[in-house]
Amino acid sequence: MTDTDLSPTPTASSDAVASGEPIPVGPVPTEWWKALGVFDLETTGIDVETARIVTAHVGLIDADGTSIAHGAWLADPGIEIPEQASAVHGISTEQARAEGRPAAEVVAEVVAAVRAVFARGVPLVVYNAPYDLTLLDREARRHGIEPLGDVSAIGCVVDPLVIDKAVDRYRKGKRTLEAAAEVYGVSLDDAHDAGADAIAAGRVAQAMARKFPDQLAVPSTDLHDQQMGWCATQAESFQQYMRRSKDPTFTASGEWPQRSAGL
């Protein structure tokens, strides 16, 4: 299969993911990793309620982790990009204003692309899903665009961060995407580029499936439900740790894969 460029162009519609070259739809239930959607955002900050999208990537990878279709976006977020954020992803306010497209257009196309991945019947890999999916939801609402809604009702999400904490609970060290890529033997040469991160996260998910088949060789719908429980348990454990060690009033949300407004 050849790559299909899904970047928005005058001749490409926002649902280009859905109209790209055919790939396996609805893989064998226990081999969900053979066909995956991948999604990542780079943004202006860490607060999902106020941060804005700067760059985005929505794509498809095959069983070998090869990118076979993708869409990439650069937005003018409409606000200053803090220096701390620019230092992470490399996009300055000046570049976003000069080269980025209007935020509302980008958000609408990204929402449509994510929805198109789910329509294919393949899982969507999102590293730390509650961040990216919640932020996309808030951006859609901010610009008057119909959001995805209840993600769990329209598709399956694979979150390598949640899975890694569940299948290798006692491993010491960081749980960033860069750290996970190293642990699972995945190359990540351009961290914090939305495309590089999205594809690397997909490949990490595939490596996990191969390494832990006893736990992960289940239908994608079951894996989705398991992650909801794992995330809730992980959040509760972290909350207890923080209350014991630092702040007795600390709270951590275990809602997954998307947070409700105000959480």
Residue-wise pLDDT tens digits, 234-247 = 999 999 999 999 99
Asked whether residue 139 is assigned to any structural domain, the reply reads: yes
Residue range(s) defining the domain that contains residue 169: 4-218
Asked whether residue 11 is assigned to any structural domain, the reply reads: yes
Asked whether residue 151 is assigned to any structural domain, the reply reads: yes
For range 60-67, the mean pLDDT? 98
Asked whether residue 237 is assigned to any structural domain, the reply reads: no
Q: Are 177 and 200 in contact, with CB atoms under 8 Å apart?
A: yes
pLDDT at 6: 46
Token output for 140? 């859609």
Asked whether residue 243 is assigned to any structural domain, the reply reads: no
pTM over 0.85: yes
Question: What Cα–Cα distance (Å) separates residue 94 from each residue in 75, 194, 223?
Answer: 12, 19, 42
Comparison of pLDDT for 107 and 3, the residue scoring more: 107
Question: What Cα–Cα distance (Å) separates residue 74 from each residue in 56, 82, 95, 214?
Answer: 7, 16, 10, 40
* CA-based nearest residue to 257, from 147, 115, 153, 139: 153
CATH of the domain at 134: 3.30.420.10
Asked whether residue 235 is assigned to any structural domain, the reply reads: no
* CA-based nearest residue to 8, from 104, 124, 98, 133: 104
Token output for 252? 């951590």
Token output for 79? 């606000």
Asked whether residue 227 is assigned to any structural domain, the reply reads: no
Q: What CA dihedral angle connects 121, 123, 126 and 129, to 10 degrees?
A: 90
**Phi/psi of residue 119, nearest 5 degrees:** -65, -25
Count how many domains the chain has: 1
pLDDT in tens, 117-175: 999 999 999 999 999 999 999 999 999 999 999 999 999 999 999 999 999 999 999 99
Asked whether residue 34 is assigned to any structural domain, the reply reads: yes
Q: Which amino acid is at 214?
A: D
Q: Determine which of 7-21, 47-61, 77-91, 165-179 has the lowest per-residue pLDDT on average.
A: 7-21
